[in-house]
Amino acid sequence: MEESLRSAAFGDGVPPPNPFAVPASPRGRLLAAIGLGARGRYAAAATLLTGLRASGDPVLASLAASTLASHRRQLGGHAAALVLDGEALALTIGEPRDEPDPDGLDAEGARADALLGLAADNLGRGRLTAARRLLARAEPHIGNWRTRTRAGWVGAEIELASNISGAAIAPAEMALETARVRGACRHVVKSQLVLGVTVANGSSAERDRAKALVESARETAEKYEFNSLLWVACLVEADLAAGHADEYRFRGAELLHAVLRHADPCGRWLARESPWVPL
């Protein structure tokens, strides 16, 4: 079961036979929560992650806290995510290197996740200097495909927020290439969205590329029910697709409300209060 959960989270994106079954092992529950969050099932994911945060294994507890932080951030709750990512980083202090995990579910991966999460949290709150500093602090701990991909997202988003779109292209391209080499379907979708936004304001050819990237991301997200990304893809496509903007905005709003119906009360409140979530 754990193998199918790992594939759903970091591989081909195909959900396990029973996505709501609770795995016996703590590692399995973490993987299940990651998969549930990808599909916008935030309440079910939060239930698993809250239990794992109390684990006696500090690495596992750290990964659970940073995963929950990412779910809060996806609903615009950057301040709430900041607290969770701080908790995740504190849990890794003094933890020695352990056996490397191919997807970064190890001590170094947990440290990188926490620091990259803190960078993204500060970025969402407009603290660009702090975001850059935290991204730089994460770099020595980035040793696997997943943290490299995430670092590319954060690096590109920092440059975009700094109005340096040219500098955002390289990290966005790196993220997409890394995710494609790994065959990580969900990470490819997110990377396509980041790169699409990055090149959308360029030349006519770059804008055409942006449209193709975002369309591909939307279609894949729809196929695998990555609803946490699908509503975003629809809204990005609305900004790029001449003549179909209203259709995509309506679809994006419909999907967002569906996601919120499957969120826990905290997640719904954060989305309602967030300037980043178009409710």
CATH of the domain at 218: 1.25.40.10
Chain centroid offset of residue 178 CA: 15
Whether 218 is in a domain gets the answer yes
- What confidence tens digit (pLDDT) does each residue in 96-108 have? 888 899 999 999 9
- What pLDDT is stored for residue 262 in this prediction? 97
| Pair 83, 73: CB distance under 8 Å | no
Q: Taking 80 as the threshold, does the pLDDT of residue 242 lie above it? A: no
Q: Taking 80 as the threshold, does the pLDDT of residue 20 lie above it? A: no
- What confidence tens digit (pLDDT) does each residue in 199-239 have? 998 899 999 999 999 999 999 999 999 999 999 999 999 99
- Tell me which of 256 and 24 has the higher pLDDT: 256
* Tokens representing residue 50 in the block: 């809250």
Q: What is the mean pLDDT of residues 38-60?
A: 97
Of the candidates 103, 186, 177, which has an alpha carbon nearest to the alpha carbon of residue 147? 103
| Pair 195, 162: CB distance under 8 Å | no
Whether 220 is in a domain gets the answer yes
**Exposure of 222 in the CB half-sphere (CA atoms within 13 A):** 12
Q: What is the mean pLDDT of residues 120-131?
A: 98
Query: How far apart are the C-alpha atoms of 67 and 10, rounded to whole Å?
Result: 14
Whether 278 is in a domain gets the answer no
Q: What is the mean pLDDT of residues 46-71?
A: 97
| Pair 157, 194: CB distance under 8 Å | yes
Query: How far apart are the C-alpha atoms of 76 and 176, rounded to whole Å?
Result: 23
- What pLDDT is stored for residue 151 in this prediction? 98
Query: How far apart are the C-alpha atoms of 106 and 259, rounded to whole Å?
Result: 30
Whether 252 is in a domain gets the answer yes
Q: How confident is the model at residue 163 (pLDDT cuts 50, 70, 90)?
A: very high
Which range marks the domain in which residue 248 is found?
A: 1-273
Whether 279 is in a domain gets the answer no
Whether 243 is in a domain gets the answer yes
Place of tokens 């607290």: 83
**Exposure of 33 in the CB half-sphere (CA atoms within 13 A):** 27
Residues near 11 by beta carbon (within 8 Å), at least 6 away in sequence: 182, 183, 184, 185
Whether 8 is in a domain gets the answer yes
Whether 155 is in a domain gets the answer yes
- What pLDDT is stored for residue 111 in this prediction? 97
Percent of the chain residues past pLDDT 90, beyond the cut: 90
Q: What is the mean pLDDT of residues 75-103?
A: 95
Q: Taking 80 as the threshold, does the pLDDT of residue 260 lie above it? A: yes
Place of tokens 């709501």: 20
Of the candidates 174, 136, 167, which has an alpha carbon nearest to the alpha carbon of residue 153? 174
Of the candidates 270, 263, 204, 221, which has an alpha carbon nearest to the alpha carbon of residue 43? 263
- What pLDDT is stored for residue 241 in this prediction? 82
Q: How many domains does the chain have?
A: 1
- What pLDDT is stored for residue 162 in this prediction? 96
| Pair 230, 221: CB distance under 8 Å | yes
Q: How confident is the model at residue 198 (pLDDT cuts 50, 70, 90)?
A: very high
